[in-house]
Amino acid sequence: MRNILITTLALFCSGMSAYGQEAPQPRPLEQLVGFSFPVWYSPGHAERARDMATLCERAMVYMDGSLAFRPAMELKVLTEQEWSAHTGFPVYGMPHPVNDTVLILAAEDNAFWRSFIPDLSQLPPDLAAQVRNAYGTADGGLSMQPFFDLLVLHELGHLYHLQKPVVLPRLWLSELFSNVFLHTFIAEQEPQRLPALTVFPRMVVARGADGFAYTTLDQLEANYTLITMEHPTNYGWYQCKWSSAAADIYEQAGAKALRSYWDCFLVQSGPMDDAALAKLLSSSVHPSVAAVMTNW
C-alpha cells in the first residue's frame, strides 16, 4: 500500500504519467439534473453519478425525519484524470468532503480499493465465504466497490455535523458519528446492503493491527492529518474499527442512537477528560458508544 501511495503522490506532484509523459488534461465536468443538490461527473460516468446521487438523496430525505436538518452539498464523481483538478487529496479513490460542502467520489475502480482485496486462503473459512458472497464478481474475482460505494453516506454524515455545527470534543467522535449515520440509514432503509457494509470492516479488523504505527485513539487525535494523508491503510483500519462499532451500537440501541448522539453535542459541552466524556456518552447517548472508548 505504501508503494501505491508513493506512486500516487509522485504523479500528483509532477503531473506526469507512470511512463514519463504528460498526464491527460482534466476535462470539463458534466452536470446531472433532477436532484436537490448539484451533481457533477466526469464524462462517461452519468450512470454512476446518478446511483451515488440517488443514494445521497434518499439518505437526506430519511434524515429529515431523524435529525431535522439538511446540509448544503454538492457531489462530484471523478475519474483519476479529473481528480486533482477538484481536490488536493492525493489518494485517488478515498471519498472525502472539500470545504465542508462538496463530496468527492471516485468514478472508477482503482488501486486504492484493490489494495484491500484479501487472499481468501488466509481467512477463516466462514469469513472467506462472507467476503466472496458480499464482494464476488461475475468473473469469479473480488471487488471492494460495493463497500466503497456506501462511504458517500459516511462523508455525507460529516456535512451534517460540520454545518450545524455539532461540537464534538474528539476527532474520533466525528468519525464514529458518520459511521453511525451510515449504518443507521442502511439498516433502516436498505438492509439488503448490510453485508456489503459490514463484511469488509470485519475482514480488516480480523487481520489485526500488526505493522501499523498508530493504533490508539490518543495517537489518532495527535496525528490525524498525518495518518489520513500518509498512512491511508492504517487510517482504514481505524475506520473499520469504528464501522464495526457502529454496527454494535445500532444492534444495541437501534435508530434512536443516532438522534441521541446528535442531540448530545448540539450544545457545546466544552473540554472534558476521558472519564467525563465516557460518563456523558454512557448517560446521554448509550453505553455502547462509551464502550468504543473504554474498550478500545
Reply yes or no on whether the pLDDT at 11 is more than 60: no
| Mean pLDDT calculated for residue range 95-111 | 96
Specify burial of residue 166 (Cβ count, 10 A radius: 0-12, 13-18, 19+). buried
Q: Computed over its alpha carbons, how large is the radius of gyration of the chain? A: 19
Amino acid letter, 35: F
Mean of pLDDT over the chain: 91
Angle at 204 between CA 203 and CA 205, to 5 degrees: 95
Instruction: Specify the pLDDT at position 291.
Output: 98
Instruction: Specify the pLDDT at position 9.
Output: 37
User: Would you list the domain boundaries of the chain?
Assistant: 2-294
- Please, which pLDDT band fits residue 1 given cuts at 50, 70 and 90? very low
Among 121-130, 131-140, 263-272, 276-285, the least confident range: 263-272
Spell out the residues 6+ positions from residue 137 whose beta carbon is closer than 8 angstroms to its own: 143
User: How remote is the C-alpha of 296 from its chain's centroid?
Assistant: 20
Digit-coded pLDDT (tens) for 194-234? 999 999 999 999 989 999 999 999 999 999 999 988 998 89
Q: pTM higher than 0.85, yes or no?
A: yes
| Mean pLDDT calculated for residue range 245-271 | 93
The beta-carbon contacts of 215-219 under 8 Å, at least 24 apart in sequence, are 216/296, 217/170, 217/172, 217/293, 217/296
d(CA 45, CA 40): 10
Instruction: Specify the pLDDT at position 169.
Output: 94
- Please, which pLDDT band fits residue 21 given cuts at 50, 70 and 90? low
Reply yes or no on whether the pLDDT at 19 is more than 60: no
Reply yes or no on whether the pLDDT at 12 is more than 80: no
| Mean pLDDT calculated for residue range 176-190 | 98
Strand ranges (DSSP E) for the chain?
30-32, 39-41, 74-78, 96-98, 102-106
Instruction: Specify the pLDDT at position 164.
Output: 94
Reply yes or no on whether the pLDDT at 100 is more than 50: yes
More confident residue, 265 or 20: 265
Reply yes or no on whether the pLDDT at 134 is more than 70: yes
Q: Are 241 and 200 in contact (CB under 8 A)?
A: no
CATH architecture of 2-294: Orthogonal Bundle (1.10)
Task: Measure the CA dihedral 273/164/74/100, to 10°.
Answer: -40
Reply yes or no on whether the pLDDT at 17 is more than 70: no
Instruction: Specify the pLDDT at position 6.
Output: 33
Reply yes or no on whether the pLDDT at 54 is more than 90: yes
Digit-coded pLDDT (tens) for 142-159? 999 999 999 999 999 999
| Mean pLDDT calculated for residue range 269-284 | 93
Reply yes or no on whether the pLDDT at 273 is more than 60: yes
